[in-house]
Amino acid sequence: MAAQQFFDLVAKELEQGQLDRGLWAKAFADADGDDARTRALYLRARAARLEQDALATTRRERARHDAEQRAAMAQGRPILFFVLALIIIALLAIWFLWPKT
């Protein structure tokens, strides 16, 4: 997601009156009570937090996907070893049972 999209989300949250009160209070304190600076600081901080949350979610989803793939591969290994063992046994049987001239 592009940075602009996070700012769009924050703007929509503000329009709907959905604030992270703790983050707003921090922005207000950092802006020394200036409303315009408070809004600007809040927008930047909230957009950064949304971006971090999105990245963390993406990392978790990748890790889960990788774990599922490893588990699926591990489940297939016994079958592979069984098939390989059958092939080896068949080759050995042919080797030893083939008439020698």
> For 48-101, what is each residue's pLDDT tens digit?
999 999 999 999 999 999 898 888 777 767 777 888 999 999 999 998 888 876
The count of domains in the chain is 1
pLDDT at residue 101 in the model: 67
Where is 1: in which H helix or E strand? none
Domain of residue 82: give its range.
3-97
Burial class (CB in 10 A: 0-12, 13-18, 19+), 54: middle
Where is 99: in which H helix or E strand? none
> For 23-52, what is each residue's pLDDT tens digit?
999 999 999 999 999 999 999 999 999 999
CA-closest candidate to residue 43, choices 20, 17, 11: 11
